[in-house]
Every structure is written in C-alpha cells, then in structure tokens.
Amino acid sequence: MSAIKRIFGILWALMGVGIIPLVIKQAMKEIAAKPSEENWIFWSIVIVVLMPIIAFSLITFGIFALKGEYDVIE
C-alpha cells in the first residue's frame, strides 16, 4: 500500500505542475477570442484564486506522498 501511495504521489505532483500551463493557455485562447469583461473576470478568478490553490496543494501533497509522509496515517 505504501508503494502505491508513493507512486500516486508522482501523479499528484505532476497534475499540480501540469495544471498551470494548461489553465494559462486556455485563458489566453479564450480571452483572445472574446475579450469581454465577463471573460476577464472568469479567468482572473480561475488564475488568481483557484489555480494557485490546486497547484500548490497538489504539488506539496504529491511531494509529501512521494517521500513517504503518508505511509502511516493514524
């Protein structure tokens, strides 16, 4: 079980890293296609609030999992 937890740790960290360019690229594409106020607000919320939380928590969690910090949880 510990091995699975550690292997999945790599996945979480990669997901955390991968989400940053993915979100920014999508935001740029959509804003360029339709630079409306609504689009700006939506993507600002996603980039400033949601993305950092997801990226930071997944990367840190993934690294902890990979290092075996969650091997034994009581």
List interacting residues with other proteins (CB under 8 A). 4-5, 8, 12, 37, 41-42, 45-46, 49-50, 53, 57-58, 60-61, 64-65, 69-70, 73-74
Taking the complex as a whole, the smallest distance from the CB of residue 51 to other proteins amounts, in Å, to 11
Strand residues in the chain grouped as ranges (E)? none
Rounded distance between C-alpha atoms, residue 32 and residue 24, angstroms: 12
Does residue 72 contact residue 29 with C-beta atoms inside 8 Å? no
Nearest distance, CB of residue 18 and other proteins, angstroms: 13
From the CB of 64, what's the least distance to other proteins, in Å? 5
